[in-house]
Amino acid sequence: IVVPNGTSPRAVELFVARYRPWIDRKVAQYRPLEAGNSDELPAAVQFQASGDCWRVVYVEAQGAPHLTVDGNRLLLIGDLSRVALLRHALQRFTMRMAHSILVPQLERLAAEFGLQYSTAQIRRQRTRWGSCSRRGTISLNACLVFQPPEIVRYLLIHELAHTRHMNHSRRFWALVGQLEPRWREFDAGLSLGWREVPAWVLR
């Protein structure tokens, strides 16, 4: 909790006590699907955004683990006791796939609606699905690949709308509503979207 200098600890305690139900609801929204199993590696990786699914095969071998794509299989080959490196290999794969899935969609929507941005980048934030800087750089969370296509489309439209309005003013939401009339429904779905993200992605 960020407070002004000189705020008494008692004031902070009272604030937290007053807003505890709201805080608990927000914390629950950001809790991953497998919050209690972050060390457990997946048997499969599925991206709702594109419909792609791979079975994960773990192959014991000497050396640091590395990932190879073999059709609809992801082969993780190496020292299987090095769980952090196995997880990191899956995270890097997710980042690469997120770029190949999300950036082309963003380009198509920008062209369709006549909205311009300077560049797009993929990140792996824990609390933000996307952002747009004043210079027109759109940052997208790789975890979007675990969301349904219609929600991904809404988020991309949301960030593109910020290239016109760098705020959440009435004009901003009017533009979003013009481009996606069901934005309220999808925005509510996105607020719970962290439940669709496997814990190993965020670890």
Q: What percent of the chain has pLDDT over 90?
A: 77
Q: Are 160 and 117 in contact (CB under 8 A)?
A: yes
Confidence of residue 12 (pLDDT cuts 50, 70, 90): confident
Please, which residues have CB within 8 angstroms of residue 58's CB and are 6 or more apart in sequence?
Answer: 41, 76, 80, 86
Please tell me the predicted confidence (pLDDT) of residue 125. 85
- Chain centroid to Cα 25, Å, comes to 19
* pLDDT for the residue numbered 3: 79
Distance CA 92, CA 89 (A): 5
The proportion of the chain whose per-residue pLDDT surpasses 70, expressed as a percent, equals: 92
**Beta bridge partner(s), residue 131:** 139
Comparing 47 with 2, the larger pLDDT belongs to: 47
Q: Where are the alpha helices (DSSP H) in the chain?
A: 9-18, 20-29, 83-113, 149-161, 170-179, 183-191, 199-202
pLDDT average, residue stretch 102-113:
98
